[in-house]
Amino acid sequence: MAIHTLNPATGKKLRTYREHSPRQCELAVARAQRAFAAWRRTSLGRRTARLRALARELHRQRADFAALATAEMGKPVTQALAEVEKCALGCQFFADHGAAWLADERPAGAPAHRYVTCQPLGVLLAIMPWNFPFWQIYRVAAPALLGGNTVLLKHAANVTGCALLIEASFRRAGFPPGVFQALVVGPEQASALVSHPGVAAVTFTGSTATGKKIAALAGAALKKGVFELGGSDPYLVLADADLALAAEACAAARLYNNGQSCVAAKRLIVVESVRAEFEALLVARLAARRSGDPRAATADLGPLARADLRDRLHAQVRQSVRCGAKLLLGGRVPAGPGFFYPPTVLTGVRPGMAAYDDETFGPVAVVISAPDEAAAVRLANDTPYGLGAAVFTRDRRRGEHIAREQLECGNAFVNEFVRSHPALPFGGVKQSGHGRELGAFGLREFVNCKTVSVG
């Protein structure tokens, strides 16, 4: 079968790719297993050197990488460049710090003749989404490869070109054949790979519905898995917040990556006493954002990645308005080519509305009124998701207490919008998944922490 990629800014076809056959997938797994046998014996110093070479390769090719992401999924080119630079930073970071996290350790209180060593698991299958077509992959692959594993990538179909470019970057950085491979396959073959006896572990980033299916397959085979799933991140604006700061941060967090981020500011929960003022500031900032050709450095907002994503988002907005929500900005599908959608603000959003109950994946800001701080926290946690959250208040100590003790999520920020960093664990709770990426926690997800005793 064939996979077609489209330019979401124009709706026109970019390229056609032929899917790998089941036989080709079998051969890829076998190559990954053979490569693992040698790669796990490669010294940590040499594995680290390959990561440093990969970081240099990403710096060198950043313009080509960014242009392809912009063409295939519509990311504004300035943001695409920043994504590639973050990938290089992540590879360099694990090269700098990973060895210390993988070193043999004798925990406090352990007998003198016993210690813990970190050993690789084997072939890791990474099933990845399109919205951050490079960062999602390198943040998984860098620590997994440093730990001695090999990686098979099943990327989203609409960024197939990005997947193949990523594979080439590992080759150019000097990684041995078979250590990192991209497979061009559909959902059926991906499911078969999850169950394949040659695959030792699975990592998945994407929707909660698909994540549950992948997790069920992995669980049936007793395979380790890390799942970073959907999110409906609440951003709390308290009565004493710096409203200009909050509005700017919420606008940036809502529109970044064309609003297609798992940790975007999806539900803005505002204490009623400052709601009207905050809404005015938010609408002004969103209205000032420039939408257009994502190749232009002046574009703040590009198209959604696919037509069906825009259709679903618009249906969520229309359903919410029919149920009583009020449009303060946007909410209309623009004429012309491509899958563009304008910055949109809904207020008066309540349970039973799609904008309240479901994750909105696009440039739609949802304002929910709360009578006071306690109610704002309850509303924030009134969701099946638990990926990220933020709270805005001039009282930093109170904000820290809310973030640390009260918000049910994996990433809680005070007076800034949620984003990942290579040093810190990233992941969620509840229906947002389990396991962690990045940092020492992420590095150790796909190693066997083995106890050794020498009597």
The H-or-E segment that residue 7 falls in is: strand 2-7
Query: What is the largest distance, in Å, between two alpha-carbon atoms of the chain?
Result: 75
CA dihedral sign of residues 331, 295, 233, 387: positive
Q: Is 228 a catalytic residue?
A: yes
As given in the structure block, the two tokens for residue 257 are 């990556």
Neighbours of 365 (CB within 10 A): 31
Q: Taking the mean position of all CA atoms in its chain, how far away is CA 94?
A: 18
CB 84 within 8 A of CB 65: yes
**Distances from the Cα of 246 to the Cαs of 57, 336, 394, in angstroms?**
38, 33, 11
CA–CA distance, 169 with 308 (Å, rounded to integer): 31
CA–CA distance, 305 with 74 (Å, rounded to integer): 6
Cβ burial, residue 16 (10 Å; 0-12/13-18/19+): exposed
CA dihedral sign of residues 279, 280, 282, 283: positive
CB 286 within 8 A of CB 342: no
Catalytic residue among 262, 359, 373, 437: 262
DSSP 8-state class, residue 437? B
CA–CA distance, 21 with 349 (Å, rounded to integer): 47
Angle 309-312-316 (CA atoms, 0-180°, nearest 5)? 140
The H-or-E segment that residue 179 falls in is: none
CB 54 within 8 A of CB 169: yes
Catalytic residue among 72, 83, 167, 228: 228
Q: Is 262 a catalytic residue?
A: yes
Show which residues are catalytic.
228, 262
